[in-house]
Structure 1
Amino acid sequence: MTVGRLGAEESAPAKVNLYLHVTGRREDGYHLLDSLAVFGPAADRVAAAPGEALSLALEGPLAAGLAAEPDNLVLRAARALAEATGRAPKAALVLEKRLPIASGIGGGSADAAAALRALDRLWGTGLGVAGLAGIAGRLGADVPVCLAARPARMQGVGEVLRPAPSLPEYGLLLANPGVALATPAVFRARQGGFTPPAALPEAWPDAAAMARDLAALRNDLEPPAIALCPAIAEVLAAIRALPGCLLARMSGSGATCFGLFPDSAAARRAAALLPGGWWREGGAPHPALAG
């Protein structure tokens, strides 16, 4: 990815749901959630440079999966920011796609959030994360948490954000079997009632304690996702068998799964042991991008 001297570039890290409880359902059909979101070692990148019109170029190893999209969420984010600030939507955008598509780690939402941050700098609108939050919320439920890309407790339909517990050092492994899974289909396949919100401590002293508490929680979308995509169960079994794995669980609506490890080095070593053909990334959680 090449960005000119006057351009701006932003990382769009994967959002990982360490647990996800479906706590209820609104009258409009949207489900209410309770989740702890962190940001993983893998990321897309969005670059913005001056342009005569609004354009988007796709790059990266997984760009082909977006080629058929008539209106990428990055473009919608750009138009929304332009409309909110009363300016013409003119920018040359580049999306380097490295996260799998429709995979439960908020790739599209992270891309939209990165586009908002990059264009805020390029256009000099000066909104910052706080000023961009309202625009982000209109683009999708996961876009606000991806805006700052810092650990957060997500509730409501995803728009209610609270600080996460203080997190210890830990490593994350992400793995996907290469199967796209549509979120609406997973929710439709879900059966049973609702799960109460989790009780979380103010802090965890180490990764092992964090994993023990999280093991008592669940991802309510994991069983229906496995029913639709049995390969998820294979990925989870493979992660659980890796040396040093403290917890294995599916993220979001799948099919990406994660493994929690004592540190980033253990997560990187574990990634190299997974079967070939799967997308995988292991390492440290992504640092927060904004205040």
Structure 2
Amino acid sequence: MIVEPAPAKINLALHVRRRRPDGYHELETLFVFAADGDSVTVVPDATDRFAITGPFAAALAGAAEADNLVIRAAHAFRAAFDIAQPHAITLDKHLPIASGIGGGSADAAATLRALAGLHGIAPDDPRLFVIAEALGADVPACLLGRATLGTGKGEALLPVEGLAGMPLLLVNPGVAVSTAAVFARWDGEDRGGIAADGDLLARALVGRNDLQAPAVAIAPAIAAVLALLDAAAGVRLARMSGSGATCFALFESVAARDAAAARAAAEGWWTLATTLT
């Protein structure tokens, strides 16, 4: 049995440069990862089985199983490595659905890592990254699982020095935002790339999330979350992640993070108090 973590993905900055001929958008983004998130358990079995547990399991219950990225990752893995062995896979779902923190992408990446470990395949095998890119723009970064500068559609990855141990708070106002709808509202203006110099936090601070304004237009509750985080004591950076609606804040101390988490929870919002890895 392999139990593989599927940590939340955070975009410290997300610059949209242009729309590509293939329908994706040319991006520059700073990926980092939380210490917590979902998890995927894989065991050999006589037949293929898939189950979802956890607080957000019900949100996926009505979706077609074939559409789940975990199942797609498992099928692609078996085809790529010519493996006949069936597996029982359990997804323990703790991250909100369609929330901008890479839940589905992280789950797919964790599935690939777990299956690779189970079958003695190196975690850096290039075939895993080919599968990951086919599954979605964020899946390669989640497969790598460390601080990186992502370019292209997000799949071209350059590792950078991270912010391991920095207190992190994730807050979601309880709304799911369609990535396609958010991109459709982007104004198309290229406001420039991510700063090339400075440490990771400095580069993030002078950056932005070009999808934040269109996401707020779709889900105004995001603005309320950001206002609370911006006003929190000890906050170093507060911003929306990905296409929303989850927002994040980096803090100077655990105490400051936990105080902000208590205020956000009092609003009835989903919160995750954690750290960066």
Fold similarity call, TM over 0.5: yes
| Residue 76 of structure 2 is aligned to residue 80 of structure 1 | yes
1:1-291 equivalence runs, <5 A: 7-70=1-64, 71=66, 72-88=68-84, 90-124=86-120, 126-131=121-126, 132-167=128-163, 170-201=166-197, 203=199, 210=201, 213-274=203-264, 275-285=266-276, 287=277
Alpha-carbon separation, structure 2, partners of 1:145 and 1:192: 25
What corresponds to 1:3 in structure 2? none
Equivalent position SS for 1:101: coil
CA drift of 1:60 comes to: 0.3
Q: Which amino acid aligns with 2:117?
A: R
Preserved contact between residue 45 and residue 85 of structure 2 (Cα < 8 Å): no
Preserved contact between residue 174 and residue 270 of structure 2 (Cα < 8 Å): yes
Equivalent position SS for 2:272: strand
Question: What is the root-mean-square deviation of aligned Cα atoms in Å?
Answer: 1.6
Equivalent position SS for 1:56: strand
Q: Over residues 208-266 of structure 1, what are the superposed CA-to-partner deviations in whole Å (9 max), with x where a residue is unaligned?
A: xx2x5433221000000000000000000011122211221100000000111114443
Alpha-carbon separation, structure 1, partners of 2:159 and 2:181: 30
CA drift of 1:168 comes to: 6.6
> Number of residue pairs matched?
273
Preserved contact between residue 9 and residue 47 of structure 1 (Cα < 8 Å): yes
Preserved contact between residue 46 and residue 95 of structure 1 (Cα < 8 Å): yes
CA drift of 1:188 comes to: 0.4
CA drift of 1:88 comes to: 1.8
* TM-score normalized by the length of structure 1: 0.89
Runs of 4+ in structure 1 over 6 Å off:
none
Equivalent position SS for 1:65: helix
% identity of equivalent residues: 49
CA drift of 1:121 comes to: 1.7
Q: Which amino acid aligns with 1:69?
A: A
Preserved contact between residue 41 and residue 281 of structure 1 (Cα < 8 Å): no
Alpha-carbon separation, structure 1, partners of 2:184 and 2:129: 29
Q: Which runs of no fewer than 5 residues in structure 2 stay unpaired?
A: none
CA drift of 1:164 comes to: 1.8
- Residues 168/53 of structure 1: CA separation in 2 closer, same or farther (3 Å cut): closer
